[in-house]
Structure 1
Amino acid sequence: MAPLPLPLLLLALAGLAVAAAQPGQPFPPSPQQSTDASDAAALLAVFQRWGLRYGPTASPGDPCGTRDWPGSFARNASVGCRCDGSPVCRITHLNVTGFSNLTGIPPELFSLTELVSLDLSNNNLSGSIPQEVANLSKLQTWHFNNNKLSGLLPNESSRLGSLQSLWMFDNYIEGQLPEFIANFTNIIDLRIYGTKLRGPIPKNFSKLTNLKILMLGDLDGGNSTFDFIADGANISILSLRKCGIGQFPSNPPNLPNLTYLDLRSNNLSSSIEPLRRYGRLSYLYMGENNFSGPLPSEMFQSSRGLDVSYNPLLNGNLPNNPPDRKWSINYIGTSIDASRTINSENLTLLNCLHMKECNKFNTKPITSFAVNCGGKQRISSDPLPITFDDDTSILGAAGFHVNTDRQWIVSHVGSDPFTNSSGPGTISTTQVILGTDMPDLYETARTSTSALSYYAVGLLNGKYTVQLFFAEILIDSQLNNGTGRRLFNIDIQDQNIKRDFDITKEAGGFGRPTNITREVTVDNSVLKIHLYWSGRGTCCIPYEGAYGPLVSAIRVFRPEKPNNSPPPARPVSAPSNDDKRRGVVAGIAALCIAGAVISSSVVYLWWKWVAM
């Protein structure tokens, strides 16, 4: 494999790791200081195994003497050192991220025993994590997210008691969620999701009292409880999406700094009342559970984004919107009464969607719908004109839009906890999309950091063709060394049709179109298309929050029936004798008529001449 030259942009070493996880920033040595020989040899061996070359200003024998390491946001390789007044400097920070050609972890890496920060995120690393990781006992920051590492997290990892930041999401790490993580009592930022790990969440995680950010998710098996959260913890961001949690406590832990709480897709079946304790929440996501009882009015006052969708036993009345703003709430799939706040046409469609009163008297039957997701109305021909409806509504951190005339609904939930934003929601490009006769359909898209759903309401029951249109117009892997990738799942009628769907891979490149076509059956007047993130793919390329589902357009119609074709033409055969006789008679009659017309014309012209 040919060595891969490093990029030419300057990377500040202060950006190598989470600032909160650093005991102090490394600094370049003075001219009288040099790199420890064993560290220099180990780093050189690591770079050689990975096919990386030192930059023009870096010395393989003295990497600590290099003041500027080249790099960029998406791809960089750099080191930081600490000398502490000694003539010999030790390598304490190593950052190698965004190299798609890196496929293994060199054993020499674990000879860098003074490392306090190791970032290997967004590469293509595979295989298991060696037990020699225990040699890095001084690590405070360990990020290996967005790779293809598999196997168990070795028990030797338990010796990393100084860890303050651990990111291991989007890998194939398997086994039980390790209890030894509770030994990392200094940890501030813990993110484990999009893996093959199983629950339950160990109760001894309650020892992690210094946590400020805790993101766990996608844990199969086991019933977790809230016993692992310590009362009075400093957590500000708590995401426990799809963790198999079965009961929300009647007296939940006091979390005075909590501003973001995600409990989606669990088995929570308690009253919603205890959640009133978290009055400082800016975002609360609790959809796809079994919460019950009336929705407290305080939640509308404290939450910028409130998702209670698909809690069928949740009830109460939806309050009126305040005059200065609109509620950012998604309550689809609940028993909440919204009759006082939305018009009757929208309420009719929502009732139909909730299977309450869907019949021919309050919805007109339809057999098709089409949406230009994230864009304005477009009309194309196929060969008949097809109207793709406008879908530019702003849905915020949680919300939905009802198209009353065309009888469809778009629903969205999700926001990135670190940007304090629900993201753009809709995106567009000026790039011309090639390889299609409908390029304008692919130049816009609707996106989400969690989940998107489209519903057609009032369809006649029967078989339908569903067409989904995609083009990746945001994450350009060519500009990011092939490391940026968007992955999400797709369900139609609650049946999964795609898992870890990668638009760029399916289409063969950035800005290229690809379609999915499926035949489905509608038997309850409603068609549901659900696109959702499952913790996989990169999170921050080209910027924070660039992940989750994306769709360019949707079309649903009834498939062509064989008897819709015109009947075949009658075959041409030889005329019979009767046909011949009828033809002779018809010919004579035609000649007689023609003669009469000519004679009449001659007489008329003679009369006109005499009259002159």
Structure 2
Amino acid sequence: MLSLSLSPLICSKTRSNNPSLETKSTPVTGADMEIAGPTDVIEDNAIKSIYSAWNISDWKPFMDGKQDICNPNGTAWPHIECTNCTSGASSNSCHIISLNLSSQNINGGLPPEFSDLQWLANLNLSKNMLSGSVPSKLGDISTLKNLDLSVNMLSASVPSELGNLTNLQVLKFSTNNFSGPLPQELGSLTSLEELYFDSSGVSGSLVVLKPLRKLRILWAFDNDISGELTAISNFTKLEELRIYGTLVGGRIPHFSNPVLIQTLQIGDLLPPSVSSPPETDSDFSFLKNMSSLRILSLRNCSLTSRTFPIPELKNLTYLDLSFNKLHGKIRSAYIETSLPELTQLFIGGNKFYGSLEDIISKSLSNGELDISFNPISGNLSSYPNLNINFLGTNINAQTLFGNSRGSDILNFIGNKSLQSNITNLNIIGSPFAIKCGANVQNIPHLSYYYHNDSDHLGAADINFDPEYQWVVSNVGSFLPNNNTIDSSVNTDHSISGGTENQALYQTARVSASSLRYYIVGLPDGDGYKVEFDFAEIVIEDQNSWRGLGRRYFNIFIQGNEVEKDFNIVDAANGSYIVITKSYENISVRNRTVDIHFQWAGRGTCCIPHEYTYGPLVSTIRVFRDQPSPPRPGKTARQKAGLVVGIMSLGIASSVIFLSIMYLWWQWIRLGRVMKA
């Protein structure tokens, strides 16, 4: 009598990317090989229908019917994993449990035959060019644990039938063209541990997610979702939360189990409702007991506080509190004891005051510090290894650069208390042009002289040209806490459009948050024109998933917003195409042009690779579009003096001329006498 093994037979070529779905392989014995049957006929037909719809190139060699899909005696077809090959009176078949078709450049819609794969636990269709709606019958695959539809062009609404997938542990539909609200039925996915719907196009309320108490990771940024964060404060296993660039508002709540949280990125919150007391302090008590926290970003969250009461966070390395309404002093002694691992601190755009020496701890002295646009004073020379952005503070640049034009320029831009004493500035003419992120002095036949902006910019950094009186300022770190990302990008791809040599557009300056340019010394007046050249050279053309990224940023000139959610690809109608944007009737006051490119949490983060977001600019040009105003008229006395001066000059000229003629006549006469 034949003894049957109860261990499942695993027929696999590609493994799942989800560790929770990994199945331990059992050695294939002789007995196993005898009992193993072919792929279930319904699933076999489903796979072949999917091939017909999508023409999967890796499956083409197997379409002659000579090799079974699961192939119990060998390996399964590419991208397929099988298991549960059984034998019995009524069954002798293998079942498909994993289908990984990521990055196969698949076009078209989702075939309905997917619902026939009733043993499927892992379905990965990410990074393709899938379009159309998601079939509601996808919700019939009750065995699914991992569903990834991210980075496609799927549209219409997210089907409510996905709420039937109650065994689902990971759900991803980021970077698509969905519309409409998150379906209420998603609240039924109570086994869900990871949810990614960033840049998906959905709207609706966060309240839908309230039942998902087991969520460990939630990416919800760059969507039009609304509501308040209190809706998700009951997650008991939360480790990573990213919500910014949305319509979410209110105060940051206390989380149910803060000790597990490692990454907390919340930004661009709408102010608290009018029913809340105005200017109520944020006590940061929600951070208490977050002992595992390493990355904390609360940028532009309408936070108001008159102290710096961040609780003890021993493992925190990155802290961003930029663009809030925070007050008070930050003391290094506090940072030393409560934030000992902190190496990156961004507090720009607040109202912190005090001395620089009060802020810099031992860990920060070799790190990145942004204190821009705060009334902070101090001496820079004591911190030679610190990368610091101090524009808009009360710090005198002479403490670092001495009594020089460079110091005068930096002080002139941000230190109003020193501006009246600065006289060491030249008048800068127009047009004035900057090549952002590169040096193009060797490129021939350019219409303008482009100043060199090729130096590296750190996460909190300033570069300046003291001779030509311009400054570039950068703030922002490409998370997760990666300082190796360059602040400029380049390509060898050909560039179309533009009026200059294409090499001018093959490089650009990028920033993770805030990129500013200042040109100092222009005559005050109206009628200036500012021009920018843009060309998207990182996000590729949309003939593959690598072109599905979306870069958005805002543009300000002289503090006025001239572009909101500017998208280079949309404006130029494609990647690697130059688009020139011109803004006229710009007024110059205080001899300075202030240009600001700012990321506000919108756009994709990671296409075609991580850190693909934030401002990107190729060139800047400033022109005086109208003639300078006439000089003030002269008084009558000045005019009379001018007439007398002109008459005197005319008489003197006549006397000189007659004298020369007389000498010339005498010389001619003398020559004739000598000749005679």
- What TM-score results when the alignment is normalised by the length of structure 1? 0.78
| 1:287 pairs with one of 330, 338, 348 | 348
| 2:570 pairs with one of 476, 486, 505 | 505
Q: Which residue of 1 aligns with 2:289?
A: 231
SS of equivalent residue, structure 2 residue 222: coil
Q: Which residue of 2 aligns with 1:216?
A: 266
Cα pair 1:372 1:390 within 8 Å, conserved: yes
Q: 1:528 to 1:227 in 2, by over 3 A?
A: same
Cα pair 1:454 1:530 within 8 Å, conserved: yes
Query: Structure 1 residue 312: deviation in Å?
Result: 3.1
Query: Structure 1 residue 207: deviation in Å?
Result: 3.8
Q: Which residue of 2 aligns with 1:328?
A: 387
Establish whether residue 171 from structure 1 lines up as the match of residue 223 from structure 2: yes
Render the CA deviation track for 1:189-213: whole Å, top value 9, x for unaligned.
1111111111221x32264321001
Query: Structure 1 residue 43: deviation in Å?
Result: 13
Establish whether residue 350 from structure 1 lines up as the match of residue 410 from structure 2: yes
2 CA distance for matches of 1:42 and 1:109?
20
Q: 1:257 to 1:35 in 2, by over 3 A?
A: farther
Query: Structure 1 residue 497: deviation in Å?
Result: 0.8
Query: Structure 1 residue 515: deviation in Å?
Result: 1.1
Cα pair 2:427 2:522 within 8 Å, conserved: yes
Query: Structure 1 residue 343: deviation in Å?
Result: 3.7
Alignment of 1:86-485 (within 5 A): 90-155=143-208, 157-172=209-224, 174-201=225-252, 203-205=253-255, 207-222=257-272, 224-247=282-305, 249-273=307-331, 274-276=334-336, 277-295=338-356, 296=358, 298-299=360-361, 301-302=363-364, 304-322=366-384, 326-344=385-403, 345-354=405-414, 355-358=416-419, 361-368=423-430, 369-378=432-441, 386-418=448-480, 420-421=482-483, 423-439=485-501, 440-463=503-526, 464-478=528-542, 480-481=544-545, 482-485=547-550
Unaligned runs of 5+ in 1: 1-9, 565-612
2 CA distance for matches of 1:282 and 1:210?
22
2 CA distance for matches of 1:340 and 1:563?
39
Q: Which residue of 1 aligns with 2:560?
A: 495
Q: Which amino acid aligns with 1:468?
A: F
Matched length: 535
Query: Structure 1 residue 250: deviation in Å?
Result: 4.6
Cα pair 2:389 2:461 within 8 Å, conserved: yes
Q: Which amino acid aligns with 1:473?
A: I
Cα pair 1:396 1:422 within 8 Å, conserved: no
2 CA distance for matches of 1:267 and 1:261?
16
Q: Which amino acid aligns with 1:523?
A: R
Q: Which moved more, 1:406-415 or 1:312-321?
A: 312-321
Q: Which amino acid aligns with 1:192?
A: I
2 CA distance for matches of 1:498 and 1:375?
24
Cα pair 1:164 1:187 within 8 Å, conserved: yes
SS of equivalent residue, structure 2 residue 199: coil
Query: Structure 1 residue 327: deviation in Å?
Result: 2.6
Q: Which amino acid aligns with 1:334?
A: T
Cα pair 1:226 1:248 within 8 Å, conserved: no
SS of equivalent residue, structure 2 residue 144: strand
Query: Structure 1 residue 24: deviation in Å?
Result: 5.9
Q: 1:192 to 1:471 in 2, by over 3 A?
A: same
Unaligned runs of 5+ in 2: 1-11, 64-68, 71-79, 83-95, 123-140, 273-279, 631-676
1 CA distance for matches of 2:45 and 2:321?
48
Query: Structure 1 residue 438: deviation in Å?
Result: 0.6
Cα pair 1:283 1:304 within 8 Å, conserved: no
Q: 1:265 to 1:36 in 2, by over 3 A?
A: farther
2 CA distance for matches of 1:14 and 1:109?
21
Query: Structure 1 residue 413: deviation in Å?
Result: 1.1
Query: Structure 1 residue 54: deviation in Å?
Result: 8.4
Q: 1:478 to 1:530 in 2, by over 3 A?
A: same
SS of equivalent residue, structure 1 residue 204: coil
Q: Percent identity?
A: 33
Query: Structure 1 residue 308: deviation in Å?
Result: 3.0
2 CA distance for matches of 1:404 and 1:417?
32
2 CA distance for matches of 1:315 and 1:11?
63
2 CA distance for matches of 1:36 and 1:533?
51
Q: Which residue of 2 aligns with 1:567?
A: none
Q: Which amino acid aligns with 2:513?
A: S
Q: 1:89 to 1:143 in 2, by over 3 A?
A: closer
Q: 1:73 to 1:265 in 2, by over 3 A?
A: farther
2 CA distance for matches of 1:41 and 1:338?
73
2 CA distance for matches of 1:477 and 1:431?
11
Cα pair 1:300 1:327 within 8 Å, conserved: no
1 CA distance for matches of 2:230 and 2:48?
36
Q: Which residue of 2 aligns with 1:521?
A: 587
Render the CA deviation track for 1:205-256: whole Å, top value 9, x for unaligned.
2643210011100001126441211235211011111011111655421111
Query: Structure 1 residue 171: deviation in Å?
Result: 0.6
Cα pair 1:338 1:347 within 8 Å, conserved: yes
| 2:597 pairs with one of 531, 534, 538 | 531
1 CA distance for matches of 2:120 and 2:47?
12
2 CA distance for matches of 1:137 and 1:39?
28
Cα pair 2:440 2:504 within 8 Å, conserved: no
Cα pair 2:341 2:363 within 8 Å, conserved: no
Query: Structure 1 residue 379: deviation in Å?
Result: 8.4
1 CA distance for matches of 2:13 and 2:386?
42
Render the CA deviation track for 1:248-285: whole Å, top value 9, x for unaligned.
65542111110111111111112111445312112111
1 CA distance for matches of 2:169 and 2:37?
20
Q: Which moved more, 1:334-343 or 1:532-541?
A: 334-343
Q: 1:517 to 1:300 in 2, by over 3 A?
A: farther
Q: Which amino acid aligns with 2:410?
A: L
Query: Structure 1 residue 64: deviation in Å?
Result: 6.7
RMSD between aligned alpha carbons? 3.8
| 1:540 pairs with one of 603, 606, 616 | 606
Q: Greater relative contact order: 1 or 2 (C-alpha under 8 angstroms, separation 6 or more)? A: 1
1 CA distance for matches of 2:599 and 2:289?
30
Render the CA deviation track for 1:370-415: whole Å, top value 9, x for unaligned.
10001114489999x5211010111212111111111100000111
Cα pair 2:342 2:363 within 8 Å, conserved: no
Q: Which amino acid aligns with 1:327?
A: L
Q: Which amino acid aligns with 1:279?
A: P
1 CA distance for matches of 2:367 and 2:401?
19
Q: Which residue of 1 aligns with 2:646?
A: none
Q: Which residue of 2 aligns with 1:599?
A: none
Q: Which moved more, 1:335-344 or 1:278-287?
A: 335-344
Cα pair 2:351 2:375 within 8 Å, conserved: yes
Q: Which amino acid aligns with 2:450?
A: F
Q: Which amino acid aligns with 1:448?
A: S
Q: 1:205 to 1:11 in 2, by over 3 A?
A: farther
SS of equivalent residue, structure 1 residue 484: coil
